[in-house]
Amino acid sequence: MTANQEGAARGGRRSAYNFAYLDEQSKRMIRRCILKAMAVPGFQVPFGSREMPLAYGWGTGGIQLTASIIGPDDRLKVIDQGADDATNAVSIRRFFKKVTGVETTEQTSAATIIQTRHRVPETALEERQILIYQVPSPEPLKRLEPREAETRKMHAYGEYGLMSVQLYEDISRFGHIATTNSYPVMTNERYLMSPSPIPKFDNPKLGKNPAIQLFGAGREKRIYAVPPYTQVRSLDFDDHPFKVQRWTQSCSLCGATESYLDEILMDDKGQRMFVCSDTDYCATRKESQQASSNDGTSGSPAHPSREAEKGPNS
Amino acid sequence: MSAMETAGIEPGFRDPVFDSQHTFRCILDAFGYVGRAQVLSRANTRIGPLDPATIAVCLTLTDFETPIWLDPVADSKPVRDFLAFHCGVTVTSAEASSFAIVGNPASMPRLDQFALGTDLEPQCSTTLVIQVPAFDGGPLVRLRGPGIQSDISLAIPSLPSWFWEDWQANHELYPIGVDVLFTCGSSVLALPRSVSVEV
């Protein structure tokens, strides 16, 4: 078969499987659901989630989305909490290397498809890049209303008062909205949507993003999407406006003050350091700092274009 | 199942796996960047009155799970045989169809004649594939919505006079409603239901 020959010629793809593991009929079904999700931003489209060679909870929704859209010319980046070298990211990247033979990259700006677990890259995305989120729990109302038959009706009729009550209870108990991840958003002013458990720090990057954002929940069998330039509003109140986390520290490795920082305990005495959660962003900044200190010029970072791409929210 | 006469049926994609992947990505870009035409470089088969883009969309998205409706222009033996053989689709009525192929937009049914979905299941609606002679030269309209940075103008010719009025009515039903994929030659241009129009 020509498909196998073309694919196997690239990067040592295993030709025992169809390209990208899924069979063509499954891909077609998922592709149709993606288009419905794009047409109704934030609406959770049910789909026939397939068995993947990973357990549910390891990103099977994201993997099925990636498998349905990826082609031989794509460059794939996979991140887990911002890191390219965490277990989940490494195993998914290897999986796609094996079943597609496509090129992989750690550079956000070089990737055409980025599959992510729980972070949005710091580097601003561009048109025609596709960001695929692995979603464990797509239903933002689940903790408030466990019956799916009810939550589907709440979405159908736009009955989202319960979520405002939850946020208000946070304020009355803690004095502020205490939700720090999976912070609920209103997509295209119609559907309440879970942005997957990204930190609320990343919420402002969801809206008006030039890239296509797809969300896949394998166990829960749902696909949803945020098309480019779609309005995404984090829920808040007039007197308690939405705010993202800020740190007094900067990254110990690259000195970044505007990125999302992870706290790392260094010893048993409570010593700690803060580093960027986005490893590519941090490494690129370090490289450009080294390059400029080596040749003594401060105005020529190694990746000038990527430096310029830092968006207002990064 | 009765035996099908396969002699005379044109070939589909040269490479079904990679050509349908490439075509899908173009369609995805069309839905993501609304109002901008995408060229389907793997579309190469013309069947009867249907352009390569129309055929490529069918080959990429339809199968035995998606009953389709053919308008009187598209509904011919070569088209039926081709789609039955390559996609395994069944032909059905407009209101029961997942995809509707419109070969002659001037005489197409009103938009509310197709499946619109329900409040609970807005995804159960028809996607109209409307073949037009060109993407410019028609009356100018302005589009706004997801997939469009601020606004974009569009001037599709040969549409019935009621089309944009119906489209606005379709948009007002949002999230219920039909989606449209315009095809021309080997290009596609999407009009998802989330987009509003100003004539």
Contact flag B31-A227 (C-beta cutoff 8 Å): yes
**Does residue A8 belong to any structural domain of this protein?**
yes
Whether A231 has its CB under 8 Å from any CB of chain B: the answer is yes
| Mean pLDDT, residues A84-105 | 95
Mean pLDDT, range A110-127, rounded to an integer: 97
> Using 50, 70 and 90 to split pLDDT, how confident is the model at A233?
very high
pLDDT band at A7 (very low <50, low <70, confident <90, very high): very low
Q: What is the pLDDT along chain B (199 residues), one digit of tens a residue?
A: 556 678 889 999 999 999 999 999 999 999 999 999 999 999 999 999 999 999 999 999 999 999 999 999 999 999 999 999 999 999 999 999 999 999 999 999 999 999 999 999 999 999 999 999 999 999 999 999 999 999 999 999 999 999 999 999 999 999 999 999 999 999 999 999 999 999 8
Chain A residue closest in CA terms to B17 = A3
Is the model's pLDDT at A138 over the cut of 50? Answer: yes
**What tokens were used for A240?**
């308690």
Question: Contact A43/B122, CB-based, under 8 Å?
Answer: yes
Residues A229 and A268 in one domain: no
Of A7, A40, A212, the CB nearest to B28: A212
Q: Is the peptide bond before B105 cis (omega within 30 degrees of 0)?
A: no
Region A38-57 average pLDDT: 96
ipTM of the complex: 0.97
Residues A273 and A127 in one domain: no
* Residue A66 confidence class, pLDDT cut points 50, 70, 90: very high
Domain shared by A12 and A54, yes or no:
yes
A227 and A282 both lie in a single domain: no
Active site amino acids of A? 42, 251, 254, 276, 282
Domain-located, residue A273 = yes
**How far apart, in whole angstroms, are the C-alpha atoms of residue A288 and residue A282?**
10
Is residue A58 in some structural domain?
yes
pLDDT at site A14:
75
Lowest mean pLDDT among A7-21, A89-103, B179-193: A7-21
Instruction: Give the chain B residue whose CA is nearest to the CA of A29.
Output: B61
| First CA to last CA distance, chain A | 46
Q: Which two tokens stand for residue A140?
A: 């933002």
Instruction: Identify whether residues A124 and A268 lie together within a single domain.
Output: no
Verify that A191 and A291 share a domain, yes or no: no
Whether residues A12 and A124 share a domain: the answer is yes
CB contact A229 to B (< 8 Å): yes
**Same structural domain, A192 and A296:** no
Say if B17 is an interface residue toward chain A (CB within 8 Å). Answer: yes
pLDDT score at B8? 87
| d(C-alpha B23, C-alpha B53), whole Å | 9
Q: Are A118 and A228 contained in the same domain?
A: yes
Is residue A293, in this structure, part of any structural domain at all? yes
Beta bridge partners of A158: none
Instruction: Supply the DSSP string of chain A, one letter for each residue.
Output: -HHHHHHHTSTT--TTS-TTSS-HHHHHHHHHHHHHHHHSTT--EE--PPP-SS-TTSSHHHHHHHHHH--TT-EEEEEETTBTTSHHHHHHHHHHHHHH--EE-S-GGG-SEEEEES---SBPP-TT-EEEEE-S---TTTTT---HHHHHHHHHTT--HHHHHHHHHHHHHHSS----BS--EEETTTEEE---S-BGGGHHHHTT-SSEEEEEETTTTEEEEE-TT--EEE--BTTB-------SS--TTT--SSS-EEEEE-STT--EEEEES-HHHHHHHHHHHHHHHHSS-SS--S-HHHHHTB-TT-
A172 lies in some domain: no
Find all residues with CB under 8 Å of A172, minimum gap 6, and list them.
Answer: none
* CB pair distance less than 8 Å for B147 and A227: yes
Is A28 within the bounds of a domain?
Answer: yes
CATH number, domain at A64? 3.40.50.11310
For residue A299, pLDDT over 60 is answered with: no
Burial class of A295 by CB neighbour count within 10 A (0 to 12, 13 to 18, 19+): exposed
Tell whether A298 is covered by a domain: yes
Q: Which of A95, A71, A66, A90 is nearest to A79 (CA)?
A: A90
Q: Which residue has the higher pLDDT, A308 or B89?
A: B89
How do residues B71-110 score in pLDDT, each as one tens digit? 999 999 999 999 999 999 999 999 999 999 999 999 999 9
Q: How many residues in total does chain B contain?
A: 199
Two tokens, residue B91: 């032909």
Mean pLDDT, to the nearest integer, of A235-242? 95
Contacts of residue B146 in chain A, CB cutoff 8 Å? 41, 188, 226-231
Report pLDDT for B2. Answer: 59
Cβ proximity of A148 and A139 under 8 Å: yes
Q: Name the CA dihedral angle for A99, A32, B107, B80, rounded to a multiple of 10 degrees.
A: 50
- Contact B17/A227, CB-based, under 8 Å? no
* Cα(B148)–Cα(B141) distance, integer angstroms: 14
> Cβ contact (<8 Å) for B33 and A230?
no
Per-residue pLDDT, A11: 59
Residue B183, pLDDT score: 98
Residue A102 CA to residue A93 CA, distance in Å, equals 10
Structural domains present in chain B: 16-198 (3.40.50.11310)
Are A190 and A302 members of one domain?
Answer: no
Q: Which of A38, A73, A192 to mutate to test the interface with B (most CBs of B within 10 A)?
A: A38
Question: What is the domain extent for residue A15?
Answer: 2-137+186-233
Number of domains in chain A: 2
- Could you tell me if A56 and A194 lie in one domain? yes
Residue numbers in B near A45 (CB within 8 A): 123
CB A40, CB A69: distance < 8 Å: no
Instruction: Check CB contact of A250 with chain B, cutoff 8 Å.
Output: no
Give the closest-approach CA distance of B175 to chain A in angstroms.
Answer: 6
pLDDT in tens, A182-230: 999 999 999 999 999 999 999 999 999 999 999 999 999 999 999 999 9
Radius of gyration, alpha carbons of chain A: 20
Domain-embedded: residue A164: no
Do A126 and A76 reside in the same domain of the chain?
A: yes
pLDDT at residue A296, rounded to an integer? 56
Q: What pLDDT sits at residue A314? A: 32
- In the prediction, which pLDDT does A37 show? 98
